[in-house]
Amino acid sequence: MSTARPLTITGGRLVLPSGEPATGALRCAGGRIVALGDIAPEDDDEVLDANGALVAPGLVDLGVFAVDKPAFHFGGITRAALMPDQNPPLDNPALVRFAAQSGKPDLWVHPLAAATRALGGEELAELALMRDAGARAVATGRRWIPDSGTKLRLLSYCAMLDLVVVTHAEDGGLAGNAVATAGAMATRLGLPSAPAEAEALAVGRDIALAELAGARIHFRQVTTAAALELIRVAKARGVKVTAGVTPAHFMLSDLEITHFRTFARLSPPLRSDADRVAVIAALADGTLDVIASGHDPRGPEDKRLPFADAAPGMAGAETLLALTLTLVRDGHFDLARAFALLATNPANLLGVDAGSLTVGAQADIALIDPARPWIVSSDRMEAAAGNTPFDRRPVEGRVTALFKGGARVL
């Protein structure tokens, strides 16, 4: 991708860091936003009329398991933080450096370094060298580190390196091989289950260790009312804790597994409806900081199995924006808050100068028709596999144009 001409987008509604969208124009040059508001194009600019569309920051997806460029572009994602759960795991500088270059120039991949060698949960990996190779944070992967001493050493070291630790919130001793949340539904279906408290126990321990180490910790997915309350209280006393969630856990409950639908086999598993409602409240009140796709496409060989044997995960990149916009339409929060959750906050956690429409930020920009209807179809998704629990669901909100560094990619 060559250096793009200066671009001015006119006639749009700018999604700014606060307040309602403002009518105006946006100009970018040299890959960055250089002006916005009541401005006019310059003589040599390329000019694009947004025709009333939302002009928003490109999404920053924190914690994907696969790089699916067509799916990311469809969903308005311009940057993706890649989990270390790859084959082989991202536990050395060479692999991190390769991952950091893998999507450029039209998608920037920000690798998360494996916290421990081979993600085994025991010996710390070469975190400083991986930071220098391009890692933007450190992650424990899909698993919890059971040894508190190891976790404290990890948090202390990352505090010195000024790296956030992205952690899985599930006590492995309680969770075991569970595939569902303990309750009436799991009992009726005869599925291996774990109590929802497995999440709160993990969150409580890791908050205490992070506070002791003075470290920044981010819980990639928090899905239960009890764990959310622990985070709410910790934030109030100044602990450097943030948390995220995926749309599945604010849109769906464990009722979705009624017919053993393996597209609803997720990690963490779907929760009760009371927990789902608590997640929405936490998104609205600031307890949760990030909405991510959890993009983890799984083919038929992983999903066409008995529920307990199927691999967890869903293709989430294409539905991330539209499902988040349902909460805006339902009045839970405004567009500014939605894009803080989808772009600004994850960009801040990763330490990248993107994720908001501000002068000087990188020109990662999405044009969005928030009312455009479409139907999610697992057979027509751009992802490597279309395993989504939202198959055949009508939604609203589509990206109509996407720019990375001011150059059009969609």
Tens-digit pLDDT profile for residues 139-177: 999 999 999 999 999 999 999 999 999 999 999 999 999
Cα–Cα distance measured from residue 395 to residue 248, given in angstroms and rounded to the nearest whole number: 14
Which residues, other chains included, contact 25 with Cβ-Cβ below 8 Å and sequence gap of 6+? Answer: 8, 9, 10, 11, 12, 36, 37, 38, 39, 40, 41
Quick one: which H or E segment has residue 93?
Answer: helix 93-101
Domains of the chain: 58-355+373-394 (3.20.20.140)
Query: Do residues 17 and 348 touch, judged by C-beta distance below 8 A?
Result: no
Nearest in space to 311 (alpha carbons), one of 120, 61, 142, 83? 142
Quick one: which H or E segment has residue 224?
Answer: none
Return phi, psi of residue 54, to 5°: -70, 135
Q: What is the pLDDT of residue 226?
A: 98
Q: What is the pLDDT of residue 4?
A: 77
Task: Give the CA distances from residue 359 to residues 35, 365, 372, 402, in Å, rounded to whole numbers and listed in that order.
Answer: 6, 13, 29, 18
Cα–Cα distance measured from residue 105 to residue 293, given in angstroms and rounded to the nearest whole number: 22
Q: What is the pLDDT of residue 3?
A: 61
Model confidence pLDDT, tens digit, residues 263-316: 999 999 999 999 999 999 999 999 999 999 999 999 999 999 999 999 999 999
Strand, coil or helix: 8:
strand
**Which tokens in the block code for residue 224?**
């239960």
CA angle in degrees (0–180, nearest 5) for 64-14-331 = 70
Where the chain has pLDDT below 70, the residues are 1-3
Q: What is the pLDDT of residue 1?
A: 47
Residue owning tokens 């144009």: 401
**Which tokens in the block code for residue 359?**
């002068």
